Amino acid sequence: MYRHLSIVVKLKRPKMIEFLKIKSIDPAVDAYPLMDTPVTIMTLIFLYLMTVFQAGPKYMANRKPFQLKPVLALYNLFQVFSCIYIIIKLHEQGLSFKNTWKCIPTTKVHDDVWYARLNTFSFILFVKAAEFLETVFFVLRKKQNQVSLLHVYHHISTLLLFWWNFKTSADIMEVFIIQINCYVHVIMYFYYFLALYEPLQNVLKKVKPFITAVQMIQFVLIFGHVAVALWPSCAVDKFAFLPHLPNICLIFYMFYQFFVNSYTKIPEVDEYPLMSSPAPILVMTAIYLFVVLKLGPAYMEKRKPYDLRKFLIFYNLFQICACYWAAAKFTELGFSFRNTWQCIPSKLEVNENWRGKMKVGMFLLFVRGIEVVETLCFVLRKKQNQVTFLHIYHHISVFWLLWLTIKISAGDMELFVMVLNLYVHVVMYIYYFLALFKPMQMILRPIKPAITIMQMTQFVLMFGHVVTALKPSCHVNKTLFYSFLPNVVIIFYLFYDFYKKAYNNKKAAQLEKCVQMKTLINCNNNNNINNVKLEGKTQ
């Protein structure tokens, strides 16, 4: 009986292995360690979980904690130099941060550079697998409380997602995720290395929240990069990027919860709507993206554009009044532009002034939430070309950063960013309101570039304000301002890129002139510019 059973097993085993195999992007990938089938990597993860949750704690139950300082010093230095090596190799293989927000189509040509990248990928996989040792060190030092869900999930998801990308794509756009993670890891492991020495521990305690903030910022940047890759017009392997999206949201949420619980907490904030958890905001963001990118265009495919002029008149008037009222209320509560370039230390005191700011902040969050209507109007008016990455990223990032400001600080220095944006929006929505009336359109057309310049100017002012807040001598919640910094740079670049294409482009300028002169047909015939499209947030 057993002899027959063994024969069956021998016959079935090759088929089982064949079934478990995932097709590689190139046969050369399968030759690397751990890359032939997912069985090996899953076995490694299983052994890791068994060690850190079962075998390890059992082994340490009746033993004293191990003193691993020399081992940890060597391990942290290994991680620092490994990440620096990876950054250098990826740079040599053609990766540049200039392409962060650009779509780089998948190439089917596997040249020498591509095969060299596989060698780098194999080393990265080894480094990511080696990170499992960190959890083992916690167990051996009897710090089981640090073997948290966040810690374990982060290590496993990072390894699995990288394995998946290595196996199925190894594309240039995925390399950005690795590179930014390596930069963060250089900072992080160097901090861990220094923190092993007692004389530095008190100094470094103040830096600890910054390390978590840097990790969260990387997830925001990665989210933006993945969004570019998943954009319908970007010709990349979307199946390779899709698993990143829910993972980034989940890991950001877990890091955020850790940050709030560990470094800053105002219990009364949780009593306000939407403020107890970022989960509702995540759901709202997901619904917004699904409606404006999938459901809306599908619904409008065989329908005529809606005439929403009357609604837009009402909407713009609402935004003008709402933004002006909020700016006026913040001024009543102590805000002044005279303090723009001055440091105002944070005072997290729950008093009437703080409650007043919270109420206005919550009203402003409601107003920013309503702004998604603008994208929906583009969809319903069949202006899908105006549902650009800039437009969507701007709305989502402003909403999220406002929510984060209310949640963890709402100090006087943070108000500058809100109030400046409110005044810019008052001017902007007055322009949109007037542009809805045909007699005004020809008059307002030359002003259109000035609106974009005004928006870019606000980002320059915000950048200066954020730099003031980040000075070592300024005692404010720096984590929040570190979140502002990359966003201000990104959004300025996106607006500048739009301005350059829309107004500095010769063909676009010629088309604009033709429109003003009402000779568009003649211009199209003579200059062949009928395909030029001016993108922007026009209503």
Confidence of residue 98 (pLDDT cuts 50, 70, 90): low
- Give the phi and the psi of residue 36 in degrees, each rounded to 5: -65, -55
Give the position of tokens 């065989």: 302
Question: CA–CA separation, 373 vs 510, rounded Å?
Answer: 32
CA dist 246 and 363 (Å) reads 29
Cite the beta strand spans of 391-514 per DSSP E.
Answer: none
**Is 261 exposed, middle or buried (CB count within 10 Å of its CB: 0-12, 13-18, 19+)?**
exposed
Predicted local distance difference test score (pLDDT) of residue 363: 86
- Alpha-helical runs (H) found in 27-148: 38-50, 56-60, 69-92, 112-130, 132-140
Q: Is the pLDDT of residue 517 over 50?
A: no
Task: Name the pTM for this structure.
Answer: 0.57
Domain extents in the chain: 25-264, 278-342+350-520
Q: How far is CA 114 from CA 106, 107, 236, in A?
A: 12, 10, 16
As a whole number, mean pLDDT of residues 91-105 equals: 70
CA distance 496 to 153: 38
For residue 143, what are the contacts with CB-CB under 8 A and spacing of at least 6? 65
Q: How far is CA 443 from CA 248, 426, 432, 516, in A?
A: 46, 19, 13, 9
Locate 184 and state its tokens: 């963060």
| CB of 350 closer than 8 Å to CB of 270 | no
Is residue 300 within 8 Å of residue 294, measured between CB atoms? Answer: no
Residues 504-519 have a mean pLDDT of 49
Q: What is the 3-state secondary structure (H, E, C) of 140-157?
A: HCCCHHHCCHHHHHHHHH
Backbone angles phi, psi at 272, to 5 degrees: -80, 150
Q: Which tens digits make up the pLDDT trace of 309-354?
A: 888 888 889 989 988 998 888 888 777 777 666 777 766 666 777 7
Higher per-residue pLDDT: 343 or 509: 343
> How far apart (Å, rounded) are the C-alpha atoms in residues 36 and 27?
9
Indicate if the pLDDT at residue 361 is higher than 50: yes
Using CB atoms within 10 A of its CB, is residue 201 exposed (0-12), middle (13-18) or buried (19+)?
exposed
Highest mean pLDDT among 91-100, 140-149, 489-498, 503-512: 140-149
Q: Dump pLDDT digits (tens) for 229-252.
A: 877 778 777 777 777 777 777 777
Q: What is the pLDDT of residues 8-46, one digit of tens each?
A: 444 444 444 444 556 767 788 888 888 888 888 889 999
Token couple for 312:
């837009």
Residue 94's CB: how many other CB atoms inside 10 A? 14
Select the more confidently predicted residue: 95 or 179. Answer: 179
Most confidently modeled of 53-67, 401-415, 443-457, 476-490? 53-67
288 with 372: CB under 8 angstroms?
A: yes
C-alpha–C-alpha distance, residues 380 and 391, integer Å: 16
Which percentage of the chain shows pLDDT scores above 70? Answer: 82
